[in-house]
Amino acid sequence: MKPITFLTDLQTRFQIVVLLLLTIALAPHYLSAQTVKEENYTRAMAEFIDGIIHFENGDIEEALDKLTAAYLMHSSDPGISYALSVAYLANGDLTNAAYYGQMSTRAEPENKWYLLNMAEIYSRSGRQEMALNQLEAVLNLDPGDLPILYLLTDAYLELGRLEEANGVLDRIIEISGSSFELHLKKFQNYNALLRDDLALAELEIMRELDPGNLLTLHRISRYYQELGKLDEAEETLLDARERNPNDQRTTLFLAELYLQQEKWDEAGNLILHSIENPVVPPAEKIDLARFLYMQSSRNPSVPRLTNYLDQAIGLIARTESEYAPAQLFTAEYYLNQNEQERALESLENAIALTPDNGEAWAQRFQILFSSQQYNEIIALSETAESSAPDNPFIRFFTGASYMLEGHYESAGHWLYQASLLSAPRDFRSVIYATLADVRVENGEWEEARSDYERALRLNRDNHNALNNYAYYITLYEEEEEKLMEALDMAKRALAMEPDNPSYLDTLAWAYFKTGNTAAAKEYIEQALDAGAEGAEVYEHMGDIQQSSGNHTEAIYWWQKALEEDPERSYLRELIEKR
């Protein structure tokens, strides 16, 4: 249990001590003039004042020396004993603090400050009951002392004596009048004591004290919910909503309460009504939709929530067509739902409102790219670059679109420009790997090799880079060491995507180039079974069959490759030789 702090400002304590000692100075009989010489008194006061000065300067040890000297000259003076107690307490010496503190209270048992000092000493020593006794003694001197009543309340709370704490709070209310915070404390105590009837009574008082304050109504509703009084909680929030129909927090609290009771339609219609309200700011409408999205995700078995969410998103998309963040929000939702056309529509609106929004352009290009609308990206690329310059995603999707349309020179330009920009590490790896693919097509093998190396330094698990680099090594390198390196990379790529037909073909070809025809035949057959097709794969199968001595099979696959790509005239020559 933590100690109760009664007087935290020790300098204030010493100011009190000074006042006490000045009183002593003006009333010499206080010091028992029959036994104390005037010169000793003067010296004691000098030591005492020096002690105070040292204390205020933070030199506690020197202060204790001076105050002890004063005490030795006038040990019967309670003011000096009190000062010593305070100094020892500041130094963490509770034993001496208690000793001198008790001397001061024995001399003046009705001195408020001496009693409070002992209360704090007892509290810090873990003797909370004795601390309470000291506080009660102070209140006997002045039953209406509000600061002490507050201290006594905290002391009872620390001891878990909640009924008695509430009794003291009632005394405070009698003196100072009702306040929301005082009744809130009483409510919390009754709630902890499971005295629901009394806790509810306090809630009603709190509501009467501050009937028009929405924050108050929100808090009261929450406390009703804690007590399981959901009807009362709902009625309180409806009251708050009636006072301000446009308050977002009230709407969210009420919707959450409805959802807690599985009142799906009430929650959904409440949020839709708020989103339809033209007075509600667009940003708050987005927050309401996000709340509904979160609740829908938590309750996937409730299709009605999903339906309300879709309606909410559609409302925002339509009614907030001039607010770019709303359009971006709806686009994000539609993307998550794989509704690409609706996402594109929202992104187009967002870009029309804020043409320099690079994120919107990037998302738009990503959707177009995933739907293979490469020429659309190419057509928009210059506008996007001029509106939102230096965006690596815009440049990458443009370069990749040129590549897939067979325009390798333009592709190389855009991808190189993308590689110059700052971007997430893994994405930069993708840029360099794609640029390397394009460089190969442009006949720039040395530059391509450097870019593949960069891609793998940025992300050693970029399996697409591993696969393509391995394949091109088998085409352009003859050294056994390089070919074995390609074989290793092909294995790593396939380990990450074991069913990828392209990766199976690469590994088959790497085995073929390193002389392992049996393994090559095994993996090329797996590639074909996995759906690999095209002249390149068919030619590989023909070459592997030829190397295995299966001439008829080789001719069959070479013919398939030639039918797929008639420009491979060298295959016709191979077939004719057989």
Q: What is residue 79's predicted lDDT score, i.e. its pLDDT?
A: 87
Q: What is residue 576's predicted lDDT score, i.e. its pLDDT?
A: 83
What architecture is the 1-141 domain classified under in CATH?
Alpha Horseshoe (1.25)
Q: What is residue 473's predicted lDDT score, i.e. its pLDDT?
A: 96
CA distances 203 to 167, 182, 188, 212, 237, Å, are: 17, 11, 10, 15, 14
Arithmetic mean of pLDDT, 3-11:
48
Q: What is residue 38's predicted lDDT score, i.e. its pLDDT?
A: 67
pLDDT tens-place string over residues 354-371: 999 999 999 999 999 999
Q: What is residue 31's predicted lDDT score, i.e. its pLDDT?
A: 40
Q: What is residue 14's predicted lDDT score, i.e. its pLDDT?
A: 47
pLDDT tens-place string over residues 188-212: 999 899 898 898 888 889 888 888 8
pLDDT tens-place string over residues 507-521: 999 999 999 999 999
In one-letter notation, the amino acid at residue 44 is A
pLDDT above 70 for 23: no
pLDDT tens-place string over residues 117-162: 999 999 898 888 898 899 999 989 889 999 999 989 988 998 899 9
Q: What is residue 25's predicted lDDT score, i.e. its pLDDT?
A: 40
Arithmetic mean of pLDDT, 461-488:
95
Q: What is residue 578's predicted lDDT score, i.e. its pLDDT?
A: 65
Q: What is residue 2's predicted lDDT score, i.e. its pLDDT?
A: 47
Q: Return left, alpha or beta for 32; rule: phi > 0 is left, psi -120 to 50 is alpha, else beta.
A: left
pLDDT above 60 for 11: no
Q: Is 355 exposed, middle or buried (0-12, 13-18, 19+ CB in 10 A)?
A: middle
Q: What is residue 527's predicted lDDT score, i.e. its pLDDT?
A: 95
Give every CB contact of residue 442 below 8 A, 6+ residues apart in sequence: 408, 409, 412
According to the 3-state scheme, what is the secondary structure of 188-217? Answer: HHHHHCCCHHHHHHHHHHHHHHCCCCHHHH
| Mean per-residue pLDDT over the chain, rounded | 90
Model confidence band, residue 345 (pLDDT cutoffs 50, 70, 90): very high
Model confidence band, residue 422 (pLDDT cutoffs 50, 70, 90): very high
- Start-to-end C-alpha separation, the chain: 97
More reliable by pLDDT, 23 or 229: 229
Give ranges for CATH 1.25.40.10 in the chain. Answer: 1-141
Give every CB contact of residue 384 below 8 A, 6+ residues apart in sequence: 361, 365, 391, 394, 398
d(CA 15, CA 257): 55
pLDDT above 70 for 561: yes
d(CA 339, CA 336): 8
pLDDT tens-place string over residues 256-310: 999 999 999 999 999 999 999 999 999 999 999 999 999 999 999 999 999 999 9
Q: What is residue 63's predicted lDDT score, i.e. its pLDDT?
A: 85
Q: What is residue 331's predicted lDDT score, i.e. its pLDDT?
A: 95
* Cα dihedral 171, 174, 176, 181 sign: positive
pLDDT tens-place string over residues 151-193: 899 889 988 999 999 999 999 999 999 998 999 999 999 989 9
pLDDT tens-place string over residues 31-43: 444 444 567 778 8
DSSP annotation of 390: S
143 is written with which tokens? Answer: 């039953």
Arithmetic mean of pLDDT, 481-498:
96
Arithmetic mean of pLDDT, 538-567:
93
Q: What is residue 469's predicted lDDT score, i.e. its pLDDT?
A: 97
pLDDT above 90 for 575: no
Q: What is residue 22's predicted lDDT score, i.e. its pLDDT?
A: 42
Using DSSP, state whether 355 is helix, strand or coil: coil
pLDDT above 50 for 468: yes
pLDDT tens-place string over residues 378-412: 999 999 999 999 999 999 999 999 999 999 999 99
